[in-house]
Every structure is written in C-alpha cells, then in structure tokens.
C-alpha cells in the first residue's frame, strides 16, 4: 500500500459514501471491461460471493460439485454450506484438476464443476467446456430449476482466486468459465483488503443484468432497494423478498480496488512476471529443483505463487527446509494441505490415499516469497540460502 491508495481511501471516506456506492459500481464496470465480460458484481470475499451464487443457482442437498483435491479449504467449504456433496478429483503434475480422471467423477447429480487456477495457472477451460457439452455427459444432466435447465448442462465455475490477469491470447481470466470467482483478499495479486467478485460469461440466453440485480438483492438481506437507490428523493419504500445475506463490498474497499486495478496490467503483473522469471533463471540449473509451469498450453499464469518442488524430498525433509529458512528469517510456505488431510474433510470421509497426485504435489512443495516489493538481490540471497539448506538435508 502506498500514498495513491491512502489518498483514494481518504477521498472515499470524505465523500460521504463509505458503504456500497458509486466507487463499487465503478470498480465493477472497470473489472468487467478489463476481463472482457458483460457484467460483474463485487462482494466482500470470494467465499461469500461463491456461496451466494451457488444458492442463487439452486445448489442444495442431493447435488454434487466436483473440485480438485488440491486447493484451499474455501473451495470445498462453500459447497458444504449449501448442503451439497463435495466430490474430489485428483490433480496433475501442475497441481491442476486432472481432466483424465474427471469423467469418472461425473454423475446425474453433478451440478457444477469448479476447477482451481492454482498459483494463477488456468486449467484448460476450452477442454472443460467441450467436455460438459459432450452429448453423453449432457444427457446425464438433470436441471433442478428453470436456470439449470436453461443451461442444460453442468456449469463450469472457476475458482480464480489466484488468477486475475491470467490470459489466453487476448482473452482474460474471468471470461473462460460460465461464472468466475475472484478473491481480493490481502495476500492475493489484486487486493481490496478483503473482497471478491463474480464475473458472468453465461450463454446469450441468460440476462446478466437480471442476474446482477437478483444477486445484489440477495447480498443485502433480500431488500429490494440498496442504500444507494434509497437516497433518491422520495424513494424510501422497500420490501424484503427473502431472508438474504449480508456480503456487499464497501466503497472504501472499492477505492483500493480502483487504484490497484488501474496499475495492475501495467505495473503489478509485469513486476510479478519479472520476479518469477528471475527465480527461474536462478534455479534452472539446480538438479534438485522442479520448476513451476508458467504456461498451461495456451494459458499463461498470473504469477500469483512461485510453487517450487524439491526433487526427491519427502514431507519431513521439506518441513525441515522450511524451518531452516525460517531461522534465516526467510518466510516460505506450503500451498496447500490437500483437503483430505484436513480434520474436517477426513471426518467427511475423504482419504488422501485416494489422491496420490495431490499428496505428491504437496509433499515436496515449497512456495517462495513473491510480492511486489521483493528485490532481485533478496531473491539471489534466498536461492543461495535455499541451495545450501537443500544440500545439507540431502546429505543427512
Ligand atoms: C484465497 C482463496 C479463496 C478464498 O478467498 P476469500 O476472498 O478469502 O474468501 C478461495 N480459493 C482459493 C484457491 C484461495 O486461495
């Protein structure tokens, strides 16, 4: 955060509009434009935005949602909140949902497939959209309501919490799936402190303005008029059409988002890319380093995480590397513990033995620091330290 941000926030605070208002609407407009979609809605987190949409879509008990075994818990938690069943698919060498194992997971109860663009690297959405449109798979699908039947197939919902700015040629993350969820949490590439957005790229038959309106109402208690429209003279009357949620974005958050978005493509992304490429350069000749992919076919990452893997290392050795790096005051991290390894999801009935791809990706993964203010000098020191530590642990 810098003065441009604090100035924008101060301006929002002084404007008289601190909750959802003109800045949120403008942020939504600019986000849609950046991603090349007709409409988006900004809310207070990926988690609440996604749950709101799933409930709007009519997801509930008896339904199944397919997601990768390797992701942050939020991806699965929202499905549990709705009362639907989490169905996991194992991941490939890039930690992305393994499409070769996907068909076997699809049943007549599958309503949504939710891949995760791990570390910012998109899955192959073209392939996924083709798959859900295959006659055999479409024939299995049963819509529970008018919207689901109108789509007439399994929805592809992108967990793009990591991948704003990822591209396929000129097409942007946000325009790959039917609906895409972004996170603007503090650790993400583009932040509003806390925040999230949904981007709509549904087939022509859907009226996105209508969906936007319905989700707005649902995000504000089910109230037919938001604070902004109630300021119009004489327009105080409102109704509550359902027991809705409360997950709107504030104009203070949107003020941060507008600043961050304005410099995202021109400054943030190129800087992150340069840092990630510098890591590659520093690590490319190390025999123990398995380097992350920046491309998945034609899809380019948003350089959110630098997910390094240590060849031949097991979980205990990797943990040792992390603690030795920590002793040097270098914070490294593991993204993520696979879902079946978390108490709740183990009790839910999931077993890590069924997801060897996820376990193998996890066991020797170490995320190196990647943030805007990181310097090439710091990276050099880090890789030098890491090399020494890795060598020492390899010998012991
Ligand atoms: C951060 C994250 C989320 C949740 O985002 P919030 O905005 O914090 O709700 C979901 N999925 C993945 C993969 C994430 O990393």
258 and 378 co-located in one domain: no
Q: How far is the CA of 270 from the centre of ligand 1 (A)?
A: 23
pLDDT at position 69: 98
Nearest atom, ligand 1, residue 335 CA = 15
360 and 282 co-located in one domain: yes
pLDDT at position 76: 98
181 and 48 co-located in one domain: yes
Nearest atom, ligand 1, residue 74 CA = 10
Q: How far is CA 371 from the centre of its chain?
A: 17
CA atoms within 13 A on the CB side of 122: 30
Strand order in the sheet with 64-68: 39-43, 196-200, 179-183, 155-159, 110-113, 64-68, 85-89
Q: Is the distance from the beta carbon of residue 367 to the nearest atom of ligand 1 less than 6 Å?
A: no
Prediction pTM value: 0.97
Final residue of a structural domain among 262, 296, 331: 262
pLDDT at position 220: 95
202 and 271 co-located in one domain: no
**CB distance 112 to 157 below 8 Å:** yes
Ligand 1 pocket test: pick from 185, 186, 253 the residue with the most ligand atoms within 8 Å of its Cβ.
185
Final residue of a structural domain among 227, 262, 297: 262
Q: Is the distance from the beta carbon of residue 72 to the nearest atom of ligand 1 less than 6 Å?
A: yes
Q: How far is the CA of 188 from the centre of ligand 1 (A)?
A: 9
Strand order in the sheet with 306-310: 289-290, 306-310, 365-368
Q: How far is the CA of 8 from the centre of ligand 1 (A)?
A: 25
Nearest atom, ligand 1, residue 48 CA = 9
183 and 109 co-located in one domain: yes
Q: How far is the CA of 198 from the centre of ligand 1 (A)?
A: 13
9 and 68 co-located in one domain: yes
**CB distance 122 to 111 below 8 Å:** no
206 and 273 co-located in one domain: no
Range of the domain at 348: 264-395
212 and 360 co-located in one domain: no
Q: Is the distance from the beta carbon of residue 304 to the nearest atom of ligand 1 less than 6 Å?
A: no
pLDDT at position 237: 86
**CB distance 36 to 172 below 8 Å:** yes
Ligand 1 pocket test: pick from 45, 46, 79, 173 the residue with the most ligand atoms within 8 Å of its Cβ.
46
Closest protein CA for atom 5 of ligand 1:
46
273 and 210 co-located in one domain: no
What is the total count of domains within the chain? Answer: 2
Q: Smallest Cα–Cα separation from 256: which of 199, 196, 190, 160?
A: 190
222 sits in which H/E element: none
Closest protein CA for atom 13 of ligand 1:
72
- 65 in the Ramachandran plot: left (φ > 0), alpha (ψ -120 to 50) or beta? beta
pLDDT at position 267: 97
What is the CATH classification number for the domain harbouring 66?
A: 3.40.640.10
Nearest atom, ligand 1, residue 187 CA = 1
Final residue of a structural domain among 262, 278, 311: 262
From the first residue on, what is the mean pLDDT of each consecutive set of 10 residues in the chain (396 residues)? 94 95 97 98 98 98 98 98 98 98 98 98 98 98 98 98 98 98 97 98 97 97 82 82 97 98 98 98 98 98 98 97 97 96 98 98 98 97 98 93
Q: Is the distance from the beta carbon of residue 43 to the nearest atom of ligand 1 less than 6 Å?
A: no
Report the alpha-carbon distance of residue 325 to residue 386 in Å, rounded: 7
24 and 100 co-located in one domain: yes
Nearest atom, ligand 1, residue 194 CA = 7
163 and 30 co-located in one domain: yes
CA atoms within 13 A on the CB side of 325: 24
Ligand 1 pocket test: pick from 48, 51, 75, 245 the residue with the most ligand atoms within 8 Å of its Cβ.
75
Which residue's entry shows tokens 């490294």?
A: 332
**CB distance 253 to 192 below 8 Å:** yes
195 and 293 co-located in one domain: no
Nearest atom, ligand 1, residue 196 CA = 7
Strand order in the sheet with 171-172: 171-172, 167-168, 299-300, 295-296
What is the CATH classification number for the domain harbouring 281?
A: 3.90.1150.10
Q: Is the distance from the beta carbon of residue 253 to the nearest atom of ligand 1 less than 6 Å?
A: no
């Amino acid at each position: 955060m810098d003065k441009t941000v604090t100035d924008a926030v101060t301006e929002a605070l002084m404007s008289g509009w601190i909750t959802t208002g003109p800045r949120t609407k403008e942020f939504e407009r600019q986000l849609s434009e950046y991603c090349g979609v007709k409409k988006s809605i900004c809310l207070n987190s990926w988690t609440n935005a996604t749950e709101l949409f799933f409930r709007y879509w009519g997801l509930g008990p008896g339904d199944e949602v397919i997601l990768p075994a390797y992701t942050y818990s939020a991806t699965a938690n929202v499905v549990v909140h709705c009362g639907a069943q989490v169905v996991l698919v194992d991941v490939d060498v890039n930690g992305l949902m393994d499409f070769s194992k996907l068909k076997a997971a699809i049943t007549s109860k599958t309503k949504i497939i939710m891949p995760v663009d791990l570390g910012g690297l998109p899955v192959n959405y073209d392939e996924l959209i083709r798959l859900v449109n295959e006659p055999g798979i479409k024939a299995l699908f049963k819509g529970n309501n008018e919207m689901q039947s109108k789509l007439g197939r399994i929805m592809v919902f992108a967990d793009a919490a990591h991948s704003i700015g990822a591209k396929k040629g000129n097409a942007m993350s946000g325009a790959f799936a039917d609906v895409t969820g972004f996170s603007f949490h503090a650790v993400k590439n583009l932040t509003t402190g806390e925040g999230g957005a949904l981007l709509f790229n549904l087939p022509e038959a859907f009226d996105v303005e209508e969906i936007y309106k319905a989700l707005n109402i649902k995000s504000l208690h089910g109230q037919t008029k938001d604070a902004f429209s109630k300021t119009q003279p004489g327009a105080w009357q409102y109704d509550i059409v359902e027991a809705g949620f409360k997950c709107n974005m504030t104009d203070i958050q949107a003020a941060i988002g507008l600043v961050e978005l304005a410099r995202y493509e021109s400054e943030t992304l190129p800087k992150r890319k340069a840092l990630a490429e510098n890591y590659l350069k520093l690590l490319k000749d190390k025999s123990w380093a398995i380097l992350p992919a920046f491309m998945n076919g034609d899809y380019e990452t948003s350089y959110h995480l630098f997910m390094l893997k240590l060849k031949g290392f097991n979980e205990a050795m990797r943990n040792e590397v992390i603690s030795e790096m920590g002793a040097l005051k270098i914070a490294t991290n593991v993204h993520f513990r696979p879902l079946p390894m978390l108490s709740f999801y183990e009790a839910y009935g999931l077993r890590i033995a069924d997801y060897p791809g996820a376990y193998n990706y996890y066991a020797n993964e170490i995320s190196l620091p990647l943030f805007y203010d990181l310097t090439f000098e710091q990276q050099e020191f880090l890789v030098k330290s890491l090399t020494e530590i890795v060598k020492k642990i390899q010998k012991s």
